Structure 1
Amino acid sequence: MVIILIRTVKYNLSKLRDLYLHTTCLATLANMAPHVHRLSAYASQRLVSLFYMLSRKYNKLTEQMDDKVGKGGSVEHDSLAKDMSAELHIYADFLRIVLEILNAILTYALPRNPEVVYAIMHRQEVFQPFKNHPRFSELIENIYMVLDFFNSRMDAQTQNGEWSVEKVLQFIISNCRSWRGEGMKMFNQLHFSYEQESHPEEFFTPYIWRLTLSHCGLSFDHNAVNLFTVDLPAEQLDNAGEEHDEPRQNGR
């Protein structure tokens, strides 16, 4: 479930850019986070990768905004700058939700999720740029408390040869038993609830039929569809144009 949601967010980020879908997927992940149990290595890596992907987009927008202001642009009177500013706030919210998801796992379920700890340790550099960021620093602080706890114990342990993935993971599992979470800031657990709008069928019925028409492989008369606007296939458009261009005969 976690992997499916993360893949959906990433696909939406690169292709669809649907704000509602983004928010819904992240909200679902946030609701699940405190109750996650033995998250797989792949899911843990994808979760950290999602933070990195969003952070790159956020940093890019920040640089563009800074360039705009540096060149004397006025955010208040520039429609493009306003759009960029709004998008920047949206990505800041997304980043914060992902950080709160990670915090919820580390605060309430760390001993049950050594793979999450491993993924964070493996990619700990992605959190560094936000360590002193006023919007994210308090959430990053908890992540670095976990990193400091495990990094210091790894540094203190004598190891013959290199640390392999298996050895690091076993080390994390062993030290999870002594983790007490002392000094961790306790944040209120995020809890999102689904609020159904009145007459949801007005959205879902045409949406489902649009998917059916696009992917079922059955033949429908597109001209007879009244439930939603149908994009006619190119062949039908060409045929319609040819029929329209044919010369009339018999005076008609």
Structure 2
Amino acid sequence: MGSNSSRIGDLPKNEYLKKLSGTESISENDPFWNQLLSFSFPAPTSSSELKLLEEATISVCRSLGSDSEDLLEELLCCLMQLITDIPLLDITYEISVEAISTMVVFLSCQLFHKEVLRQSISHKYLMRGPCLPYTSKLVKTLLYNFIRQEKPPPPGAHVFPQQSDGGGLLYGLASGVANSSPFPSSIPHAFQINFNSLYTALCEQQTSDQATLLLYTLLHQNSNIRTYMLARTDMENLVLPILEILYHVEERNSHHVYMALIILLILTEDDGFNRSIHEVILKNITWYSERVLTEISLGSLLILVVIRTIQYNMTRTRDKYLHTNCLAALANMSAQFRSLHQYAAQRIISLFSLLSKKHNKVLEQATQSLRGSLSSNDVPLPDYAQDLNVIEEVIRMMLEIINSCLTNSLHHNPNLVYALLYKRDLFEQFRTHPSFQDIMQNIDLVISFFSSRLLQAGAELSVERVLEIIKQGVVALPKDRLKKFPELKFKYVEEEQPEEFFIPYVWSLVYNSAVGLYWNPQDIQLFTMDSD
């Protein structure tokens, strides 16, 4: 910076920087500005170079910081105007990147606080006075640039962000005030945007946390976009990338998995979605490796992936929140199950089998614990009551899901009845259990009815013959004997203080993707550096 500077180490002694950070006023026509902006060394392109730059300019920044608060509002407005009003072209690309980077730096004070900041100085200026109109326009600008999927930057340019960051920065700006809407209600911030282009961009970019976060934000907070997406006839383009995130749960951070799962839960709140996904037939799902799926409905695939997520969670993370959302999505779909793939039907019953085994194991441990406590009062023993309560809640939910399918769409799902009959012994122990007795009535009726018909048909029946008997029996089943239960419906509701989850998540994305910015990792307080 300045014609006499060729090394970062020379910056503290640079006369132009000293003058810039000094107290003397400088006219806008002063030749100083041209001399200051005469770069004679390459801009930093890595975190290590940025670290050196920060260390070398500490004294300059301190001098500049002591007087600059009065000018902060004007500076922020200029940055916002630059970001929103300057068209993104090849010739303006680098200045746009610098403006966004500078804005992120101003907002990044949150990184150095463990608690969520309710308000920062930067946000105070952005949400009032002359900056306010530009703050509203920024959302539109970010969405447009997200849709455009800008071409990669020129080689050697330091860039924020590394990938398209429509989601991260959009939500990051909103996080300036943690407990409120990003924009006051007095601001008209409605704008037109091409929903088709937005939908296409979202479908193509779900491999990134930022795009999934943006999709969640739009579905949850914008009813127009949610209605548009649910009306699409190509929902598989959006749902498949979401399912792939969940399928590769071992490779994804927990936040990304949560977002993908909540998106599915929001979608399954709509009965039209739950019906239509069983009408979409997919061929050769290459990323599903447990079994070759040459042809399967989107609905059956969704069931398979959600059940796999539950099983993974049972053996690894044991996260009750994840369990709850997975089961809620299955429950929302259950009344609309149609033509379930035989493997999907098997996995539903296999999950129940796994839960049943786990229940028996915990029950046995609880019994042994009780015996031990009676024989010795000195040894502290684990309390299995809570574990037993949790596993029984999950078993109850699975029974309700199976019952919902049997009472609402039995005639559409012979494969589920087949799987139920094949593993009917699993359900025997729950017939008289006080926690499950009521919900078992219908399941027991179905099992007894079809078992009787199979017995009448004779022994050594083929799979095809059993399915034929099931299809014929559906017509004769006395449906009036099936007890009616309330419809299973679950709705996603954000926690009371969602910012406690979202703000650390957003800033972790910014921290990890902003390759052109440096923050000392030892100073980061908002999240632990080894966390997701």
C-alpha offsets along residues 17-74 of structure 1, whole Å, 9 cap, x if unaligned? 0010011111111111111111111111111111111111111111111111122359
SS in 2 for 1:206: helix
Judged with a 3 Å threshold, the aligned counterparts in structure 2 of structure 1 residues 39 and 223 are, in CA distance, closer, same or farther, namely farther
C-alpha separation in 1, matches of 2:409 and 2:517: 51
C-alpha offsets along residues 68-111 of structure 1, whole Å, 9 cap, x if unaligned? 1122359xx997543x2111101111100000101101111100
Q: How far off is 1:228 after superposition? A: 1.7
Matches within 5 A, 1:54-69: 54-69=355-370
Amino acid at match of 2:418: Y
Is residue 2:527 matched to residue 1:228?
A: yes
Equivalent position of 1:42 in the other structure: 343
Is residue 2:454 matched to residue 1:146?
A: no
C-alpha separation in 2, matches of 1:4 and 1:211: 26
C-alpha separation in 1, matches of 2:424 and 2:307: 19
C-alpha separation in 1, matches of 2:310 and 2:323: 6
Q: What stretches of structure 1 of length at least 5 have no aligned partner?
A: 233-252
Q: How far off is 1:141 after superposition? A: 2.3
Amino acid at match of 2:436: F
Matches within 5 A, 1:77-92: 80-82=381-383, 84-92=384-392
C-alpha separation in 1, matches of 2:353 and 2:516: 43
C-alpha separation in 1, matches of 2:317 and 2:463: 36
Q: Which one has the largest radius of gyration?
A: 2
C-alpha separation in 2, matches of 1:202 and 1:148: 50
C-alpha separation in 1, matches of 2:355 and 2:394: 7
Judged with a 3 Å threshold, the aligned counterparts in structure 2 of structure 1 residues 202 and 129 are, in CA distance, closer, same or farther, namely same
Q: How far off is 1:140 after superposition? A: 1.9
Amino-acid identity (%):
39
C-alpha separation in 2, matches of 1:156 and 1:210: 63
C-alpha separation in 2, matches of 1:207 and 1:166: 51
Judged with a 3 Å threshold, the aligned counterparts in structure 2 of structure 1 residues 199 and 131 are, in CA distance, closer, same or farther, namely closer
Q: How far off is 1:199 after superposition? A: 4.7
Amino acid at match of 1:155: L
C-alpha separation in 2, matches of 1:132 and 1:78: 34
C-alpha separation in 1, matches of 2:312 and 2:496: 29
Is the Cα–Cα contact under 8 Å of residues 373 and 381 in structure 2 kept in the other structure?
no
Aligned-residue Cα RMSD (Å) equals 2.8
Equivalent position of 1:19 in the other structure: 320
SS in 2 for 1:109: helix
Equivalent position of 1:70 in the other structure: 371
Is the Cα–Cα contact under 8 Å of residues 453 and 469 in structure 2 kept in the other structure?
no
Q: 1:180 aligns with which of 475, 478, 481?
A: 478
Amino acid at match of 1:167: R
Is residue 2:433 matched to residue 1:127?
A: no
Q: How far off is 1:227 after superposition? A: 4.3
Is residue 2:166 matched to residue 1:166?
A: no
Equivalent position of 2:456 in the other structure: 156
Q: 1:8 aligns with which of 309, 333, 336?
A: 309
Q: How far off is 1:137 after superposition? A: 1.8
Is residue 2:380 matched to residue 1:115?
A: no
Amino acid at match of 1:52: S
Q: What stretches of structure 2 of length at least 5 have no aligned partner?
A: 1-301
C-alpha offsets along residues 147-198 of structure 1, whole Å, 9 cap, x if unaligned? 1111111111256xx2121221122122222223232222112222211124
SS in 1 for 2:489: coil
Equivalent position of 2:192 in the other structure: none
Q: 2:488 aligns with which of 183, 186, 190?
A: 190
TM-score between the two structures when normalised by the length of structure 1: 0.79
SS in 1 for 2:316: helix
Judged with a 3 Å threshold, the aligned counterparts in structure 2 of structure 1 residues 58 and 209 are, in CA distance, closer, same or farther, namely farther
Amino acid at match of 1:61: V
SS in 2 for 1:188: coil
Moved runs in structure 1, 4+ residues, more than 6 A? 211-214, 218-222
C-alpha separation in 1, matches of 2:437 and 2:415: 23
Is the Cα–Cα contact under 8 Å of residues 111 and 179 in structure 1 kept in the other structure?
no
Equivalent position of 2:4 in the other structure: none
C-alpha separation in 2, matches of 1:123 and 1:158: 19
Is the Cα–Cα contact under 8 Å of residues 222 and 230 in structure 1 kept in the other structure?
no
Judged with a 3 Å threshold, the aligned counterparts in structure 2 of structure 1 residues 223 and 120 are, in CA distance, closer, same or farther, namely farther
Is the Cα–Cα contact under 8 Å of residues 118 and 172 in structure 1 kept in the other structure?
yes
Judged with a 3 Å threshold, the aligned counterparts in structure 2 of structure 1 residues 227 and 71 are, in CA distance, closer, same or farther, namely closer
C-alpha separation in 1, matches of 2:510 and 2:431: 47
Equivalent position of 2:12 in the other structure: none
Judged with a 3 Å threshold, the aligned counterparts in structure 2 of structure 1 residues 39 and 212 are, in CA distance, closer, same or farther, namely farther
